[in-house]
Structure 1
Amino acid sequence: MATYNKRGYKPKTKEEKVEEVEQHSTTAEVFNTLDESASKTEEFVEKNQKYIFVIIGIVAVVVLGYLGYNEFVSKPKQVTAMNDMFQAQKYFNDAVNGTAKDSLYTLALKGGEGKFGMLDVIEEHGGTPSANLANYYAGTAYLHLKDYKNAIKYLSDFKSDDEILAPLSKGNIGDAFAQLNQSEDALDYYEQAAELRNNEYTTPMYLYKAGVIALELGKADKALTYFNKIKEEFPNASEAGTIDVFIGKAQVLAGK
């Protein structure tokens, strides 16, 4: 057990003298160990300081480079891309809401009045969010122009977590495959679109399309599952208005 020694206290017994020597020896050993460790650390730093400074320098360059790229390269590139995309986006919106759709979709793709089209934005501003969005617009424009292979190509390049655009892009690919009479592929993409998000707009729409094409493929049980889901979970959706008719048809074909 450790003892507390008063100042000026001198060991009297042999045992006390031995204990005092051991305490001093242990303390000295600890300090010697610390000194040795410190010396080794100093030696390592001295020998390798060139490499240490290089590593620190590399880390600093990477961090500053990343911050600098975002501030002075990435942001300005995105602003430029957005500006270049503005007129093409206007053509697309006019095509959706107006007449002369084919010519407007073509202008949205290829540009007009000296302005970029979506294809130009994709080519000139690759890697920016605007170029990614341009893939969606381009693919959808090609779909309306009945160029289904290009529709699939550009829509497949579009990546998004958006609540509406993400399932719409999958569903549009499904529409393109349906027009190419590739029904199995169409069904696959309709199913992906229906499962990707759960909302009152895209989910019942693609459940309905998946159900209809499943019936055409002779998959009545699968179709019935999709139609029943619309009836039970989306009673206010426009697709629910005639869903009982499709449920009845699927039940007959499924033998239920």
Structure 2
Amino acid sequence: MATYKKRGYKAKEVKIDQTDDVDFNEQDSTTAEVFNTLDESANKTEEWVSKNQNYILGVIGAIALGVLGYLAYEQFVAKPKEVNAGNDMFYAMQQYNQALQSPVAQDSLYNLALHGVNGKYGLIDVIDNYSGSANANLATYAAGMSYLNTQKYQEAIDYLSDYKANDAMTGAIANGGIGDAFMQLNQAGEALEYYEKAVAASTNAYTTPMFLQKAAVTAMELNKNDVALKYFQRIKEEFAKSPEAALVDAYIAMAKNK
């Protein structure tokens, strides 16, 4: 906005303190020092980069190669490996699922699932040939459960222990399966540990009361009646509609009186 002078107005004389010159000079000097410092730092950085450019380029190249290698592995190795594993395990999983659904000839179906037949891969073949793949991990779970159901308890423990659960439900069942195998081997202490892991792995109306009951009964066998009572009480309070709740009052009375 323009400024207009009133007629007859006389501007006052402004006095400038001589110290202002000193302040300006000091400020100019400080600014110059800052820029000089920045210049020196920049020069040192440029010198370091110049001396170490081969090293820097090598690091950048290694990172780039690593990224490209990972992408190439995923595209040309991992994905085809998963596809091949899925194709080769189809027969084995078919036999495994039939064994789960049918009480007739279960042992033979589980054995076909584990070992295959007539050139068709079994679960063990998939695990051995496609190690590290997601399908081999699934085959590890199925193999462990197959061994458990054919009373080969140490093998069941070995395979179920190797299974890396991708969901809480199968994680709970795998830990519970290990607990069952230890119980069959008369190792109640280890069984209780895995039943407790199964309970902790997932909270649901199916596996949780089942493994709470197994943990409680095993605890009673180990004379850990306080632990057993805690688990029975949880079934009564949290899973009143579960099959395990039907006899829970009788179990509670046993735990209190034992």
Residue 120 of structure 2 corresponds to 115
Residue 200 of structure 1 corresponds to 205
- The residue type equivalent to 1:180 in the other structure is L
Q: Distance in 1 between matches of 2:30 and 2:18?
A: 18
Deviation for aligned residue 1:155? 0.7
Structure 1, residues 79-133: CA drift from partner, whole Å, max 9, x if none? 2111111110100001111221111100000012421111001100111111111
- The correspondence of residues 1-256 of structure 1 with structure 2, limited to 5 A, is 15=19, 18-98=22-102, 99-253=104-258
SS in 2 for 1:218: coil
Unaligned runs of 5+ in 2: 1-15
Q: Which runs of 4+ in 1 moved over 6 A?
A: none
Deviation for aligned residue 1:219? 2.4
Q: Distance in 1 between matches of 2:35 and 2:197?
A: 68
Q: Tell me the matched-pair count.
A: 243
Could you say if the C-alpha distance between residues 28 and 83 of structure 1 is closer, same or farther in structure 2, counting changes exceeding 3 Å?
same
Q: Distance in 2 between matches of 1:186 and 1:249?
A: 21
Q: Distance in 1 between matches of 2:140 and 2:241?
A: 32
Q: Distance in 2 between matches of 1:116 and 1:41?
A: 61
- The residue type equivalent to 1:107 in the other structure is L
Q: Distance in 1 between matches of 2:186 and 2:17?
A: 105
Deviation for aligned residue 1:218? 2.5
Q: Distance in 2 between matches of 1:15 and 1:218?
A: 93
TM-score, normalized by length of structure 2?
A: 0.87
Q: Distance in 1 between matches of 2:131 and 2:256?
A: 49
- The residue type equivalent to 2:35 in the other structure is F
Deviation for aligned residue 1:202? 0.7
Q: Distance in 1 between matches of 2:80 and 2:39?
A: 55
Identity percentage of aligned residues? 53
Unaligned runs of 5+ in 1: 1-11
